[in-house]
Structures are given as C-alpha cells and as structure tokens.
Structure 1
C-alpha cells in the first residue's frame, strides 16, 4: 500500500512530504494474516517551503493573534491548496499513484485546560488534497482520542511501540526516543511492550522564535547551533524558566506553542532584570540548555525505567549545540544519545513515517492506542475525505504485531526532493 504523508510541525518551517510503501506479512501462523507484521520502505521524501506570506500569517495566529471567521476560512483553504500542491508534485515526481494520503495539517492551537487536552485545531482543508492527489485523505488525526478522554498527543508512541517493542523485549530493557521538533516529545518502550509517551516541553520553538525576532525574520533558527555554542548560559534566567508549572506536571501530558512562546521568554527576562538587554547568543545558549535539561529531567521523573540510550529525531538533531547539551544531561543518568539515522530512519522524516503508519492503521480499522488514553478507549484516528473515487475499505485487521523499517533501496538527488 502506497501512502503519502503530509505534515507541518510546530515551527511551520515547511511541508514535510513522504511517500512510503507499507506491506503486511501474514506468513507467521494461522492468525497472522489478521495481525500481521508490517514492513515500511520510504520511496520519496522532501520538504516544500510554505509561501512566505502564508507562513507569516500562520505563525502570527499560532502565537495568539486574532482573526474573524472569514479570514479563518481563507487561511484553511490556502493551506489546503498548498498541501495539495505539495502532494500532487510528489506523486508526479514519483511517477506512481498512491492509495491513501495522510495529512496532519498545521496545528494552530492545542487547547489544554485543567491539565488535560480539551481540543485541538489543525488547518489545511483535506478536500483540496484529495482532489489534487486523486486519492482519499485521512485528516484530523487527534480529535477522536481527545474526545475519548486522551491527550491527542504525542502520536509518536504508536510508531515507537510498533517499531521498538521487539528490540526492547530482546534486550530486556527499555528503549526511548525523543522527537526534537518545535515541541519535544518522549516515548519509552518497556520490555513488556508497554509504552509511555508525552511532551516534555519546548524543543526548538523558543530558540527559533528569539532568532526570528532578533533577525526580523531573516533567520528562522540557530543554524548549526552557532549562536548556542558562542553564548554563555544565564543561570538565573534558566532557573526562572524551569519554574514553569508544566515542567512539574506528571506524564502523560501535552503542550504547544500557545504555552511555550515569546511571552514565556519575555516574562522570564523581565523577572530576572539586568542593566542591559541580554545578548542574543547568551539567550539562545540558555534556551538550548532549557530544552536539554527539561527533556532529561522529564525522562528521569517519568517513572519509566531509565533507558540505555535515547534515539533522537526531528530538526533539533541538526543542532550540534542542542545535541551536545542533551547528551551531557543524559550522561548523568547513564544514557547515551544517538540519532535515529544510526537506526536506519532519517531524523528529518521520522514523523512523516509515523503519520503514514497511522494512515495504514486507520484504513484497516485498527484503533490508535495512545499511552495517555484509558484502557478500552482507543479510537480509530482521523476523518476521511473521499476524493474523486468511491471508497472501498479493506476488511479490518485485528491489530499489528510490529513494524520493520527498511532502508531506501537507492538514493538519487532529484531537484527539490529525493527519491529514495
């Protein structure tokens, strides 16, 4: 089954596109055909930039700006059209149709009240994507879990359980991952196959925000971690930032840029005072240490067994300062930090593979068992926009046994994207 995955993360730095082939292996016993092993192979990955004007509007709204219903409709439509264009270009580039598109959309707000998620909003009208891709589109992936009492996030625990449970069982210890996107999220897969997953707090979002503000939008992130490496951590500011109540909440929990944005940083800066504005490099170094320390502390306090290693993915893997700071924090607990690339998964596209897996599960009627959901409350994730052809759903599966991720067969540069 060929599945096209579309998503734009918290930082809204581009549309990540992946086309993967997922095959079900039912050759391992009489019941295996209804509970198969899955094999996933990436066929194409690429990132498509948002139109600058549209990205500016998205970030302004995600950071607390107000709009009326007319503007919300226009924004939802424009984003759907840009997702659709990215999907159509990828399909044309691959030279093959797809069976399903999974579009996470762009998160604008994750509503948390009283310590629990109450709602979530992702934009990017799926009907435009279905029309452009000539395939059904699975969208609105988080709402069903929230309605059933869960957090709707992070979704990565579903992928990590399928991918890592067998390895954890073989070693007799836990295996953990961290996704260093705008928000950092952790998964811990235990040797018995159970998984914990939660958002630890900021990943790159605060670093990106202060760099973008200081450069008036010319730079959107700390390229190669140079600012973080050049600056000095301000211990007073770091201590103030770490007092945020989110860090004290027990897992599972979820958050977003509505909690960790520039107002959070500016409030802490005002509290610590000082005779002159803090140098940008020192601020970035402090926020880099905040991400590293909050991740390590969240993992330590989660109640899960401390893993021998933490597998990192997401854009933050390309920030040497962040990886160095996080690695130093983890050494204290006897854990090593490695990139998912060492395990055969491109760190820039692990989330894309995860959304493709969720699409396969929902298409085959398999509930999305998020760790924060109560037992028996797992729901099939998402809504389906049918597209131009009638829907023909397969017979539901009883579940899956696990997931193997294969390396690309070949790697060929191909313009703005890469066929794998």
Structure 2
C-alpha cells in the first residue's frame, strides 16, 4: 500500500510529507521509503498560527479559520506528494495536523487539539485520510504522546542493549526499547507489555518500553532567536549564536529546577509550558543576559535534560532524528552530556531523519486501516492499546483491510 504521512511539529515551520510503500510480510511490517518533500506554511497563515498559540488567547472564529487554512495547506502538500512521490496514485494519506493545544492537568492529559480539517485533503486528492490520531489514546487514559513510540519499539527491538530513539523537534522526546523482556503482541492488537499503563522499570531484564517528552528542544530555542532578532531569524542556523555564547549558570540552574523533569514517565508537555513567558519568569531578578548567552543556555538545557533522561533509563545508544540534529552545537553538547553513550542519526540506519515523524505517522495510519492498535500502553500510559484516528473517505473504496493472519512484531526498513 502506498501511504503518505503528513506532519507539522510544534515548531510549525513547515509541513513535511513522506511517502512509503508499506506491506505486512509474516510477522513484520516492511517500509520502503519513496521520498519526502517539505513546504513552508504560507507566511500569513504561519503568523496567524503563531499569534493564536499559548500563552496567547484566541477566538472560536480564529480557530475555525486556522482549521480551514491549515487543512488547505496540508491538502496542497498532499497533492504535490501524490504526484511527485507516488506517481499520481496513493491508497492512503495520514495527516497529523497541527497541534495547537495539549491540555495537561497535574500530569494527566485531559485533551489534545490538532487543527487541519482532513476533508480538504480528501477533496483535493480523492484519497482516504486518517487523522486525529492522538485523541483515542487520550480517551484511554494515555498521554496521546509520543505516538511514534510504537514505530520505535517495532524498529529497534532487535538491537542489543537498550537503544533509545530520540526526536529533537519542538519538544524533545525519547523511546527506550529494552533489549530483554519484550514479548510478542497479542492477536488483534499491537499491544506490548504495559497494558496496565504502569511505568517501565529503568533498564534491565524484564523492563518494558517507555516513551516520554524530556522537555523543550527547538520550540524554546527558536522562540528565543525569533524574539532576539525581531523575527529576522527564526532559528539558530548551525548553532552559530549558541557557539558564540556561554551558559549563564544561575539561569541554567533555575531552568533545570522545573518540576516537570522530576515527574515520572509516561508524561508529555508542549508550548503550553515552555514558551517565552516561562523563560522571562525564570530570568526575573537576574542582570541582563547577552543574547548569545541566552541562546547558549537554552541549547544546553535541551542537551542536559535529554541526556539525563537517557542515563536514567540505562540507554546504551541514542538514535536521533528531527530538525534539532542539524544544530551542530546542540549535537556536540548532547554527545558530551551522554558521556560515552554512542549517538547516531536514523539516516545511518536507513530512515531519513528529516522525515522520520512523517514516516511514523504513515505507519500509524497503515495500522489503523489494518485494524491494528497503534500504541504501546507502557509508552503512553493508556489502559490498553487502541486503533487510532478517524477516517475521512476519499473518492473510491475505503482501503480498509481485515486484520492480518499474523500480528506484526517488528518493522524493517527496505
């Protein structure tokens, strides 16, 4: 089945499309990458989105306008992907949409909202769309994140030691895949150990997979750069500002004292917590901090909090993806903080890092139309695995398949 995954992360800088041929062979899913493309949001839409995100307030009228505008933007990228990546034909499109609010109350996710009306995609391409993938997991008591954890578990479970998949998007998240104690899923779902929703034990035999947001990555760094440059720069290209600056010890200590880091996993967060106002509050009472030092400090914060999470769960290697891996200073700092734990990119294992999340959502939609669960309860904290998403029909038959004879327990990149 030719499937296109559409993704825009918490940095909301662009919409990524990744096309793949996906099939089930015995007890494994085989993914053949067909290519990717990326298109920036139209500037007026990006500005409207930025002005509506927390901690800003907005109106239902603006929410409706954004839902339409984002849906149309995703539809335009989907049309391009169908033609350029799939030769004019795709059986399924999977749209993550744009996260605009992730409602967390005392560590429990009460709701999550992704905008980008899928009807625009189905109408423009004539292709069935799977969307709204997070809400079902939230309804089952989960965090609704990180949803890519099931792909990480299926892909990395055969590696020795305790591999850790890292995504450096707007928010950094990891999936820890213990090398021992991971059993085959039960028939009819893709449920791995942890169906009770209990947290994994750190490392060792019998440990369960675990996944969680470690804290801010590009979202906080980008917001600082955008503010300091008056919008002339939207990110710290090549880590130039961070390289010129020095970490401010007092601010760094205040940021590390954030209670979120000490909360047990599974857990998730977003710009609702980590935004410019949050940083300004942490800087209260401090002497003026040089711009480059401020960027260096928030960059070091990401490296430290990611590495702390990897060490806490006994990670033996880190396999990274996401826009943050293009920041050489961040990667150098992370390598130092990991203290000898090898650091790779997913490119080295055959999966293009720039499109890893888009490919992951393509897999999630593929699981949905095959009647298979798309979550690992020990990773999201849900009571059970769930078939994810809502289906918007295209022009023809729904590409819904009966459950396969064997439930896949691994993922291979072909």
TM-score (norm 1): 0.89
Partner of 1:73: 64
Report SS of the residue matched to 2:158: helix
Residue by residue over 1:72-105, the C-alpha shift from the partner in whole angstroms, topping out at 9 and shown as x without a partner, is 1111001100100110011122323111100000
TM-score (norm 2): 0.90
Tell me, which stretches of 5 or more residues in structure 2 are unaligned? 183-207
Is 1:82 the counterpart of 2:73? The answer is: yes
Matches within 5 A, 1:91-106: 91-94=82-85, 95-106=87-98
Residue by residue over 1:162-181, the C-alpha shift from the partner in whole angstroms, topping out at 9 and shown as x without a partner, is 101122xxx2x211111000
Q: Find 1:56's aligned residue among 33, 47, 68.
A: 47
Report SS of the residue matched to 2:165: strand
Report SS of the residue matched to 2:284: helix
Residue by residue over 1:262-304, the C-alpha shift from the partner in whole angstroms, topping out at 9 and shown as x without a partner, is 1111111114x11xx3111100100011001111112233xx3
Distance in 2, matches of 1:51 and 1:212, equals 17
Deviation at 1:23, TM superposition (A): 1.9
Deviation at 1:374, TM superposition (A): 5.5
Distance in 2, matches of 1:376 and 1:209, equals 35
Deviation at 1:156, TM superposition (A): 1.9
Report SS of the residue matched to 2:19: strand
8 Å contact from structure 1 (residues 148, 373) kept in 2: no
Tell me, which stretches of 5 or more residues in structure 1 are unaligned? 27-35, 407-420
8 Å contact from structure 2 (residues 149, 379) kept in 1: no
Deviation at 1:63, TM superposition (A): 2.9
Partner of 1:278: 289
Shift in CA distance, 9/374, structure 1 to aligned 2, threshold 3 Å: closer
Report SS of the residue matched to 2:138: helix
8 Å contact from structure 2 (residues 147, 380) kept in 1: no
Shift in CA distance, 234/375, structure 1 to aligned 2, threshold 3 Å: closer
8 Å contact from structure 1 (residues 161, 189) kept in 2: yes
Partner of 2:301: 290
Q: Find 1:395's aligned residue among 399, 402, 407.
A: 402
Partner of 2:4: 4
Residue by residue over 1:333-354, the C-alpha shift from the partner in whole angstroms, topping out at 9 and shown as x without a partner, is x412112221122211111111
Partner of 2:198: none
Q: Find 1:313's aligned residue among 321, 326, 336.
A: 321
8 Å contact from structure 1 (residues 7, 17) kept in 2: yes
8 Å contact from structure 2 (residues 91, 399) kept in 1: no
Partner of 2:365: 359
Partner of 2:337: 329
Distance in 1, matches of 2:381 and 2:356, equals 26
Q: How many residues align?
A: 385
Deviation at 1:248, TM superposition (A): 1.2
Is 1:176 the counterpart of 2:161? The answer is: no
Is 1:186 the counterpart of 2:174? The answer is: yes
Report SS of the residue matched to 2:157: helix
Is 1:143 the counterpart of 2:135? The answer is: yes
